[in-house]
Amino acid sequence: MKTVLITGACGGLGNKMSMYFAEKGWQVIATVHHFDLVEGLTIHPNIKFYALDVTSTESIETAKKEILKDYKTIDVIINNAGKGYRSFVELSTDSEIDSIVNVNWLGVVKTCRAFIPVFRAQNFGQFINITSVAGLVNLPLGNFYHSTKQAIESFSECMSYELIDFNISVCTVQFGNAPTNFQKNVIKSKPTNNVHYNAMMLKIDTILAKKTCKNNDLIDTIVEKIYRISENPKKSFRRYAIGFDANFMKYFRRILCYRAFNFVIKKKIL
């Protein structure tokens, strides 16, 4: 029986993946920021919850010790925990910048760092790092979210070179807006007296809300694809784009130079 560790398993995509893997016969190590978040989640005999704060090295190490007492091996680690922050640079705050960097980027770094020795000792393992279409392109009001997701892309590719000789594979997964609570939980800068800023925020919010509503089948597609990736790890680094939005942006950006892409985005979105 294979084992997968999933961060950010308390809701949305993380919880969906946990249930899917469990129903496929995998042992699921589902990590949550706080144990009180587990209440109300669907319980499955193949799923075991652990408290793990991806922003805290101490929390990760404590959880790691508990996990290794219960499981002899871990086949796959899915770095899924993440948060959103939509703000104009001028209106951004230190606390929110620190928070999104600590969760979205450093959380992946710290989790990988902690479990690389486990994978090396096993002589196998796979890291699946969740990014986003934001890891492929730059869009309005994505200053902080996009930066962290693109950081994961670079980090993952660099790390893959270090680990290839230990039979440890690394990949990233990108997709667009899925109908989870993620968008509802995105932190936004507060409205101001700046009419331009307020209008742009409203327009971006509206576009993303419409996109999310259209992607009704995206969550199932993402979960099924990540499961297939887990079952068949590739030795070399891979980027997997899932869904129309991610694939369209991936090839659209590749075809156009950055100036042409920037022009189109301004015309279509702003």
Cα dist from 181 to 83, 177, 209, 238, whole Å: 11, 10, 11, 28
CB under 8 Å, gap of 24 or more: what pairs does 38-41 form?
38/10, 41/10, 41/11, 41/15
Q: Which residue has the higher pLDDT, 37 or 104?
A: 104
Cite the DSSP H helix spans in the chain. 12-23, 57-70, 94-100, 106-122, 143-163, 182-185, 195-214, 218-231, 244-255, 258-268
Which backbone phi and psi does 180 adopt, to 5 degrees? Answer: -115, -170
Intra-chain end-to-end CA distance of the chain, in Å: 50
pTM: predicted TM-score of the whole model, two decimal places: 0.91
The C-alpha atoms of residue 28 and residue 136 are separated, in whole angstroms, by 29
Asked whether residue 160 carries a pLDDT value surpassing 90, the answer given is yes
pLDDT at position 214, please?
66
Q: For residue range 110-119, what is the model confidence (pLDDT) as tens digits?
A: 999 999 999 9
Containing structural domain, residue 238: 3-268
- Give helix 106-122 / helix 143-163 axis angle, nearest 10°: 20
pLDDT > 70? residue 40:
no
- d(C-alpha 235, C-alpha 185), whole Å: 36
Average pLDDT of 123-135? 92
Q: Provide the domain count of the chain.
A: 1
pLDDT value, residue 256 = 78
At residue 60, the 3 state secondary structure works out as helix
Q: What CATH number has the domain bearing residue 185?
A: 3.40.50.720
